Amino acid sequence: MLLADEWKDYELIETGDGEKLERWGDIILRRPDPQIIWPKNDKKIWNRADAKYHRSQSGGGNWEYKRKIPNRWTISFEDLKFYIEPTGFKHTGLFPEQAVNWKWMIQKIKKANRPIKVLNLFAYTGGATVAAVYAGAEVCHVDAAKGMVGWAKENVALSGLADRPVRFITDDCMKFVQREIRRGKKYDGIIMDPPSYGRGPNGEIWKIEDSLFNFVQQCMGVLSDNPLFFLINSYTTGFSPTVLGNILKQTIGSKNKGIYSCGEVGIPVTQSGLVLPCGIYGRWENE
């Protein structure tokens, strides 16, 4: 398991009874997490939360505020900066466990010592986009949600990278890749964080178990002749990391030699010493 244990502005303070207590800068949030099936130990520590998210039986939920906090604030991971904002679906706009992948791709891009073009698919608020741009890559950021693309653009500017070469595209990722193939566009690195389930703008249905392999295979059409890396993240319950590794071996591995790795990502819990699993990854990288 790769541990996101180099944060200063983020801390997973405690976990228990389906909840996690997190510090985002100087603001402490209490959010649900279905994987936390062990009990709380020190129950008093949970009173430190500035806000708590309550799920609704009908979907979504709402925040209960113990004190007034900003609608949005900033945290940093090393030189990278991000806006944090509690949303109606419990998320904050950032997945801190992905710092392990940000550091990996920064190192890969910087060591390549050549111009690198990166395609970030299902790119959300652009954590990986900020990292790749910071490392010196030219990035194409694609997500179907206009609000998330706008947020990503703000994150890039917040990190002082607004003058770097980034394209922000609001589109269905599969349709965008198909058009890039027809245009003859190529990328040296591809990142994707596909949802478990989703619908495209015209009612297209995405089910990760039915669609992922074919989509990765399709992405081979935009991969350059000298690719640097391919990264797949997943938060789909029940998926083994080996599934992602196998997909990469049967797609990019059929044409390119390289190194494969797959596994879990996690965050250490300060109070208990436990580790909270936070999804899986599959990587291919050139030799």
Q: What is the pLDDT of residues 229-247, one digit of tens each?
A: 999 999 998 899 999 999 9
According to the model, what pLDDT value does residue 139 have? 98
Mean pLDDT in residue range 266-274: 97
Alpha-carbon Rg for the chain in angstroms: 19
Angle of helix 208-219 relative to helix 241-250, nearest 10 degrees, comes to: 40
Give whole-number Cα distances, 144 to 66, 119, 140, 172, 198, in Å.
34, 14, 13, 5, 10
According to the model, what pLDDT value does residue 199 have? 74
Least confident of 63-72, 76-85, 123-132, 247-256: 247-256
pLDDT tens-digit readout, 169-205: 999 999 999 999 999 999 999 999 998 887 766 677 7
pLDDT at 255 over 90: no
**Cβ(232)–Cβ(216) below 8 Å:** yes
Question: Of 251, 222, 247, 220, nearest to 233 (Cα)?
Answer: 247
Fold (CATH) for 2-84: Immunoglobulin-like (2.60.40)
Q: Does domain 96-285 have CATH number 1.10.3720.10?
A: no
DSSP assigned state of 264: E
Q: Beta strands of 49-149 (E only): which ranges?
A: 51-55, 61-65, 73-77, 80-84, 117-121, 138-143
pLDDT tens-digit readout, 149-167: 999 999 999 999 999 999 9
Q: Provide the residue ranges of all domains of the chain, joining segments of one domain with +.
A: 2-84, 96-285
Domains 2-84 and 96-285 share a fold: no
Long-range contacts of range 79-82, CB-CB < 8 Å, 24 or more positions apart?
79/134, 79/159, 80/127, 80/130, 80/131, 80/134, 80/159, 81/130, 81/155, 81/158, 81/159, 81/160, 82/125, 82/127, 82/130, 82/155, 82/158, 82/159
- Place 16 in a pLDDT band, splitting at 50, 70 and 90: very high
Angle of helix 173-183 relative to helix 208-219, nearest 10 degrees, comes to: 20
**Cβ(197)–Cβ(206) below 8 Å:** yes
According to the model, what pLDDT value does residue 101 have? 98
Phi, psi of 186 (to 5 degrees): -130, 150
Mean pLDDT of the chain: 95
